[in-house]
Chains A and B, each alone.
Chain A
Amino acid sequence: MADTLTLAWRQYRLERRLFWRNPSAAFFNFLLPLLFLAFFGAIFHSNQHELNVIVPGIAGMSVMSTTFTALAYNMVFLRERGVLKRIRGTPMPGISYLLGIAGNAVTNTAVQIAIITVAGRAFFGIGWPRDVLELIVFVAAGVVCFASLGVAFSHAIPNFESTPAYVNAVFLPVILVSGVFFDPAHTPGFMKGIAEALPLYHLISGLSGAMVKGTSLAANISALGVIAAWALLGIALAVRGFSWEARRS
């Protein structure tokens, strides 16, 4: 029988093919952050200070939408439609399947970060990232954190029809409070307090350090610590509540 990684690779390739065939997935997971970047980039084109906030902010939002949002949607769909149960009845190891799904999401993250980086250099006066290693470390940490939180969150969603409401009830407030579109230094204290408790704020701090400010990884180590703590919580909840079968009502 084909080994675990070969099967994961085949699943990954199938997921990539199907991703582009599904217009709504391609739009919400892929084009929307890039549209936001183009839109806000155009508004702030003469204000470098704002551009320095927006570009890493959108990069952080992209990490969240390609992992947290996409996986929460996907896992509820696959669970409620019975795809997970069908896969469970085949000799394919469950981990191969989940690696294929996660690999698909991470590919979208990588492509978006690459596009945002190039756009930052070409259109928004950001230049190439100051610290590529730091960028990679923060994107990787963000992916693990938000992917596991997305899977964990899917356990709380009872059916596929209500998925958009559940996901947006988390996604929209988090991107607003975490300073995707403005410098959180200028927000009221209580908002800043909420933002600082959440992982996206720290991911954006790290990405800003890597892409714009040139602050070192060591200087952003506490941000990395907060993301890691959320990642551990996410992994624990993702594993604990995992179900291969649809919820019965």
Chain B
Amino acid sequence: MTRGAFAIEVKNLYKRYGDFDAVRGIDFEVLPGQVFGLLGPNGAGKTTTVEILEGYRHRTGGDVEVLGFDPGERPRELRARTGIVLQSTGLYSHIRVREALEHFATMYPHPRDVGEVIELTGLQGKERSTTRTLSGGQLRRLDLALALVGDPELIFLDEPTTGFDPAARRGAWDTIRSLKELGKTVLLTTHYLDEAQELADRVAIIKGRSHSVAARADQRGTCPGRASRGIDGDAAHARGHLFGADGRRRAGREPAG
């Protein structure tokens, strides 16, 4: 597979805050159309990794390519082709659901139909509600809807079901599966093993409190990391191995996740 054929390519990614390594030498690739899971405990560096790929943070070292771009340069075309669901982002309190989606749609070159997005995310009947009247689960669905309205080919989901009850979780899983059916590439982070198992075509594991290899999975299916066994299924031509991040927490420095 030549360089550029991956939706995401990460090589020896490092992120350091002062003398604290938030991400320590990660490699993985994601193929177009794949659902890729980044699994690990809180504080392992999942969010830091994803936020580097989204262009929010600069890496300290290594190479990263997203849809052929360097996300560190934040090219506008890349932002037009990616959808981002962050762990916690707010919105104006007095904006209505449909109004917000229509407004965000105008930012993108080829937006999806707003009605379709409302249906896909199960927000029917809430179109005229202001965000301050929505429940937590409805707000998360609006987050997803806002990320999908630009019809991105790559979608980042940072812990999309944390705090959900079991029914809401299954609903979110169905939505993520429908993204795959639409041919989208999805990078999702989670600390739930079952979620990764349920949704992801391939999984990479970031483990906290360790500087050594936490898991390694390649196309032959050899998985030295015990936790990864049975998760990494096929993944033709794709390989991923991860070095665990230092899980020490430092107040004020370490981004959540």
A89 at the interface (CB under 8 A from B): yes
B135 at the interface (CB under 8 A from A): no
Q: Which residues 75-111 in B have Cβ within 8 Å of A in the complex?
A: 76-77, 79-80, 82, 84, 86, 88-95, 99, 103-104, 106-109
A162 at the interface (CB under 8 A from B): no
Give the size range of A's interface with the partner. 20 to 34
A49 at the interface (CB under 8 A from B): no
Q: State whether A1 and B255 are in contact (beta carbons under 8 Å apart), knowing that A7-B106, A7-B107 are contacts in the complex.
A: no
Asked if residues A2 and B90 are in contact (CB atoms below 8 Å), the reply is no
Asked if residues B106 and A2 are in contact (CB atoms below 8 Å), the reply is yes
Interface of A (DSSP majority class): loop
A91 at the interface (CB under 8 A from B): yes
Asked if residues A248 and B79 are in contact (CB atoms below 8 Å), the reply is no
- Chain B residues near A91 (CB-CB < 8 A): 76-77, 79-80, 107-109, 150
Asked if residues B106 and A89 are in contact (CB atoms below 8 Å), the reply is no
Asked if residues A90 and B104 are in contact (CB atoms below 8 Å), the reply is yes
Q: State whether A86 and B93 are in contact (beta carbons under 8 Å apart), knowing that A92-B107, A248-B255 are contacts in the complex.
A: no
- Chain A residues near B99 (CB-CB < 8 A): 14, 17
B163 at the interface (CB under 8 A from A): no
B10 at the interface (CB under 8 A from A): no
Q: How far is the CB of B184 from chain A (nearest CB, A)?
A: 16
Q: Report A1-40 CB contacts with B as 1/0, cut-off 8 Å.
A: 1100001001000100110011000000000000000000
Asked if residues B76 and A86 are in contact (CB atoms below 8 Å), the reply is no
Closest to A92 in B: B107
- Chain B residues near A18 (CB-CB < 8 A): 92, 94-95
> Footprint of B on A, CB under 8 Å?
1-2, 7, 10, 14, 17-18, 21-22, 81-83, 85-86, 88-93, 245, 248-249
Please give me the 10 A-B residue pairs with the lowest Cβ-Cβ distance, nearest first: A81-B90, A82-B89, A91-B80, A89-B84, A21-B94, A86-B89, A92-B107, A91-B79, A82-B90, A1-B109
Known: A14-B95, A81-B89, A92-B107; 8 extra A-B contacts, CB below 8 A, are: A81-B91, A83-B90, A85-B89, A86-B89, A89-B79, A89-B84, A90-B150, A91-B107
